[in-house]
Structure 1
Amino acid sequence: MRILPAHATKNNPLLLYPVPPPLTQTLQLTQNSLAATTTGATLWLGAQVLTAYLYTLYTPSSASNKLALDLGAGIGLASLALGALGFEVTATDVAELAGPGGLLRGNIESPKNSTAGRVSVRELDWFQPPPREELLVGGKEFDVVMTADTIYAPELVVPLFETITRFAGAKTQVWIALEVRDEELIRGALKTAQEMGFGVKKIQQGKLKKAMAAARIEWGAEDWAGVEVWKLNVGKRKE
């Protein structure tokens, strides 16, 4: 099954999405291109590229018993893919997506998307995040905090990084996937992250290309132009 870039499937209400090898599971993701109040109701490129890249970092054995938090999970691709790999994932988004009847909740709870790990869903507003203890599973720190396609509006930048700060421990790996549509916005967001104490490192495009090839994603360069993955270092901030 060929994986198409998100922009080629915006009008498809149902996506069949195979997770990367070595797994053979195919996810069924419902989306809605007509949603008027949120951009998270459809698949975006960043989630596709980030999912492929994370599958090069973890195996089913290394993912077992690890905890992940997905901020702005959208329709749930990255959350479900990491759950299939063996992570225990908390997928979060605004009430419209994560609340009763929301697309994210429906995709996560669908019996057609059974996963090797446990994936749960809950509402999370970056402007009013819950106490840290409410999201920690068994009091343990998250091993991974990830967010994809969430840096697109200036007013969301500081709340996003403040939320990451709240839930990421000193040893948490933080991954951000973004699509550069507005270079000034992205530069400003990364500068804000540094001013808030984060170290930032861009993942080489060559590594992303290899990850996509391993995930059997066969796109031309124009299909995912502008997509970047960044790693945030929170260790110094937590000292």
Structure 2
Amino acid sequence: MLSPAHLTKHIPVLTYPFATSTFYLAQLDDGVSNGTALWLGAQCLSLYLAQIHSKHKPSQSVIPPRVVELGSGIGLTALALSALGWDVLATDIPHVISNVLTRNIQHNLAQLPPTSGTIQICELDWTISPERWTWDNAIAIASASPSIASYTDQAGFLSPPYDLICSADTVYSAALIEPLLRTFHTLCRLSAESSTFGRAPPVYLCIERRDPGLVERLLADAKNTWGFNVCRIPHRKVTKAMEKGGVVWNSDEWAGIEIWKLTLPWDV
């Protein structure tokens, strides 16, 4: 039975069942980075997406649907979506990528079903202006490191358009609100511009309401500054998805979890 993440941070390698797979997820709880340990939001978001992901797949397409995740952490959501048949671009900062994310993806490829999608890992530093992003580098889309050289061999690289954008446990500092929303907006715009249907993909953002003021500022900025339509997924739907995933926790174990859907009008 799955336990809430806050009860398992002392465990160096988690045995984590998801659908027909079992993942073995290494984590660090050394205080260096929030992204090197499992958090509650990733648990809830992966289970919710497992229930609704199929409605976001392009109809009558033989190409696997494509998702980009911001702040992939130890890789749970990326592995979950891959197991569901999605091609996943898992992004984070170098410390997380080198310490847990790459290791967990590589060590769990054998645990994925034959129908799984691919997973690629790439650095995406939200603080880098989108004007400086590059899609000719399968190591880093946006990096603060000047030592990462670009190259043009991007065969198979999971660049836009994306059918889905997701992120969990990435709202914990006021300084990150603008960079995060700007990154969402840019990925939506690039996807809409390069999509056959001209549609911006939905963004699913899972947050834990530790600081209500911070959350309200994020949601207000998403709507008023960046033009997103903002809608909270009803708690009953999240609860139902978790129960279908085999999770039955006391309500106080995850009372602060919220999943929000952000969408851009197609004509943006």
Same fold (TM over 0.5): yes
- How far does residue 197 in structure 1 lie from its aligned partner after superposition? 0.8
CA deviations on 1:58-110 (whole Å, 9 max, x unpaired) are 359x5871000010011111011000110000000010011xx3201111121
Q: TM-score, normalised by structure 1?
A: 0.90
Other-structure match for 1:124: 124
Distance 1:167 1:233 in 2: 12
Corresponding position of 1:37: 32
Find out whether 1:153 has 2:155 as its counterpart.
no
Give 3-state SS (helix, strand or coil) of 1:147's partner.
strand
Structure 1: which amino acid aligns with 2:205? Answer: I
Question: What are the ranges of 5 or more consecutive residues in structure 2 without an aligned counterpart?
Answer: 142-155, 192-198
Q: Which moved more, 1:168-177 or 1:24-33?
A: 168-177
CA distance in 1, matches of 2:6, 2:160: 37
**Aligned AA for 1:6?**
A
> In the superposition, relative to structure 1, how do residues 18 and 138 fare at CA in structure 2: closer, same or farther (>3 Å)?
closer
Q: Equivalents in 1 of 2:210, 2:7: separation in Å?
A: 17
Task: Give 1:138 deviation, angstroms.
Answer: 6.2
RMSD between superposed Cα atoms in Å: 2.2
Alpha-carbon offset, residue 37 of structure 1: 2.4
**Offset at residue 43 of structure 1 (A):** 0.6
| Contact 1:145-1:173 within 8 A present in 2 as well | yes
- The equivalent of 1:190 in structure 2 is 219
Q: 5+ residue gaps in structure 1?
A: none
Q: How far apart in 2 are the matches of 1:160 and 1:139?
A: 18
Length, aligned pairs only: 231
In terms of Rg, which structure is larger?
A: 2
TM-score, reference length from structure 2: 0.80
Indicate whether 1:105 and 2:102 are aligned.
yes
Judged with a 3 Å threshold, the aligned counterparts in structure 2 of structure 1 residues 190 and 59 are, in CA distance, closer, same or farther, namely closer
The secondary structure found in structure 1 opposite 2:227 is coil
Q: Distance in 2 between matches of 1:122 and 1:113?
A: 21
Shift of 1:131: 2.5
Name segments (4+ residues, structure 1) moved above 6 Å.
none
1:180-215 deviation per Cα after TM superposition (whole angstroms, max 9, x unaligned): 000000001111111211110000000001000000
